[in-house]
A and B are shown apart, each in its own frame.
Chain A
Amino acid sequence: QLQLQESGPGLVKPSETLSLTCSVSGDSLSINPYFWAWIRQPPGKGLQWIGSIYYSGNTYYSPSLRGRVTISLDTSKNQFSLRLNSVTAADAAIYYCTRHPAWNHHFDYWGQGILATVSS
């Protein structure tokens, strides 16, 4: 059974970088043709796709965040990561790591989510 688990600091200072990691068990990031993605949800608001990385390493980012976001794979640890630069209060949210197949882009597995707060 595929499982995803987010980890990282829950508190980030304004203008600094938010770094989160997703640990994946039950599947290999580097073998199967899936995308691995980050989605966020500000408190009381809707879901926002941040970006996806293909198992080959190709990346796709939300136009609204492009330039501040980097998603990367660490196949040796079977993890993928999110870095979001220059954070502001608007970046405070629950961050979910997910998977979506290349053939239907359906987010079929989700982590439980991790709350990131932006405060000095």
Chain B
Amino acid sequence: NFMLTQPHSVSESPGKTVTISCTRSSGNIDGNYVEWYQQRPGSAPTTVIYEDDQRPSGVPDRFSGSIDRSSNSASLTISGLKTEDEADYYCQSYDSTSRVFGGGTKLTVL
């Protein structure tokens, strides 16, 4: 089995750009897709990035995803931060038998 490690929390000001990392402990990050979910309090998670860098319809292009093979990690970047982006963000990937979530990152926009 493998783990996905995210920072516990990040904070940034409105209008700025923030990047949340997700590091895979074993296995190649580019061997299986990485997804990113946003979860606001009291709600089920919703997808902001799927298949490493794809945005579902309705997700603004301020959200982008990328993969870095050298660090075996994925990143979620949110530009032009808005107060409505304040939420928990989870990365997720898989292998042949398991689906794994990162521990989640609380984004504060202050």
A positions within 8 Å CB-CB of B: 37, 39, 46-49, 52, 60, 62-63, 96, 100, 104-108, 110-113
Q: Which residues of A contact B68 (CB under 8 A)?
A: none
Contact of A63 among B50, B51, B90, B98 (CB under 8 A): B98
In the complex, whether B97 has a CB less than 8 A from a CB of chain A is: yes
Please name the residue on chain B nearest to A113 by beta carbon. B44
Question: Knowing A46-B104, A47-B90, A105-B32 touch, does A110 contact B44 (C-beta < 8 A)?
Answer: yes
In the bound complex, CA of A100 to CA of B98 (Å): 12
- Between A and B, 24 residue pairs with Cβ closer than 8 Å are A39-B101, A46-B101, A46-B102, A46-B104, A47-B39, A47-B45, A47-B92, A47-B101, A47-B104, A49-B98, A62-B98, A100-B99, A104-B33, A105-B32, A105-B35, A105-B93, A106-B35, A106-B47, A106-B92, A107-B45, A107-B47, A107-B92, A107-B99, A108-B47
Q: Quick one: which of A48, A106, A113 has the most chain B CB within 10 A?
A: A106
In the complex, whether B14 has a CB less than 8 A from a CB of chain A is: no
Question: Knowing A105-B32, A106-B35, A106-B50 touch, does A60 contact B90 (C-beta < 8 A)?
Answer: no
Query: What total of chain B residues lie within 8 Å of the partner, measured CB to CB?
Result: 24
Tell me how many residue pairs across A and B have CB atoms closer than 8 Å: 57
Contacting residues of chain B (10-53) with chain A, CB-CB under 8 angstroms: 32-33, 35, 37, 39, 44-47, 50-51
In the bound complex, CA of A107 to CA of B38 (Å): 12
In the complex, whether B63 has a CB less than 8 A from a CB of chain A is: no
In the bound complex, CA of A106 to CA of B90 (Å): 12
Question: Knowing A46-B90, A112-B44 touch, does A106 contact B51 (C-beta < 8 A)?
Answer: yes
